[in-house]
Amino acid sequence: MIHSIPQQPDPDWKQISAIEICDNAEPLVPVSLAPGKLKCYPAYYKLGIPNAIPECHVRKGVYLRLLQAAELLPEGISLLVLDSWRPYAVQQYLYDTLYNAIETRWPDKSPTALEQLTREFVSLPSTHPQTPSPHLTGGSVDVTLIDEQGLMLDMGTLFDEASSGSHSGAFELLENPTPHEQQIIGHRRLLYRVMTAAGFTNLPSEWWHYDFGNQLWAWYSNSTQACYGVAQPDNLESRWRKELDSQKD
């Protein structure tokens, strides 16, 4: 039996940003090379989001835990990564786009209120060493489940849908769920169970968002320290520079 998803508090970003980061220098690795029941579909790239990349990169420790979570799924169900590490420009685009949409819907709200509503679904863009956006660390992943035909299971809302129904425990609050709603509850519980069993924590406003190793994970897991800070995928230029620097006297 899969237990219900617990109702978690919203993140306290002031407390989260105060958590110490001691980056363990784990590299970012591509999810697309994963075997078996771990799949990759870079959703933002497929949607044509500016500066999005055609790969899902995660820290090595996250990758190994994703493999573990995928193996816990029943036969015929696979784990699909939709987004993970993202460039700062993508984070800024997502934040600005949602902020502007909310401002258009509620033009009388104050900038503080607009920021609060936006941050329910998109973190502030930041590459600051002490306050990086979760996805810029390589420790955040957006995931869902797919069946044997590669079709996404019904999770009740779309990935990145900015509505209260996207809260992980939203359907748990229904007193008399319909058979369809019971199916949605089962799918969310299954995803939550395998991801938390592999060591991830969930952002309660997004059924698809899970963390390991970053400040958000540290706060929800009551850890005193985060092991992932700002990360950057390796590229040819950075590799050459490292090689040249190593040759200096």
Q: Is 141 exposed, middle or buried (0-12, 13-18, 19+ CB in 10 A)?
A: buried
CB burial string 85-115: b at 16+ within 10 A, e below:
bbbbebbbbbbeebbeebbeeeeeeeeeebe
More confident residue, 5 or 237: 5
Q: What is the four-CA torsion angle of 124, 129, 131, 132, rounded to 10 degrees?
A: 40
**Which residues are marked as active site?**
206
Annotated binding-site residue? 12:
no
Q: Taking 90 as the threshold, does the pLDDT of residue 249 lie above it? A: no
Res 1: pLDDT: 53
* Domain boundary assignment for the chain: 13-246
Minimum mean pLDDT among 18-27, 56-65, 117-126, 222-231: which range?
117-126
Average pLDDT over residues 117-146: 93
Between 179 and 120, residue with greater pLDDT: 179
d(Cα 99, Cα 106) in Å, to the nearest integer? 10
Q: Please tell me the predicted confidence (pLDDT) of residue 117.
A: 87
Q: What is the mean pLDDT of residues 27-31?
A: 97
212 has pLDDT over 90: yes
Binding site annotation covers 142?
A: yes
The predicted-structure confidence for 61-100, as pLDDT tens digits, reads as follows 999 999 999 999 999 999 999 999 999 999 999 999 989 9
Task: State the pTM of this model.
Answer: 0.92
Helices (H), the chain: 13-17, 43-46, 60-71, 88-105, 111-118, 179-197, 215-220, 236-246
Cα 58 to chain centroid, rounded: 10
Please check if 10 is assigned to a binding site: no
Which CATH architecture describes the domain 13-246? 2-Layer Sandwich (3.30)
Cα dihedral sign for 59, 225, 206, 73?
Answer: positive
Percent of the chain with pLDDT over 70: 99
At 2, the pLDDT band (50, 70, 90 cuts) reads low
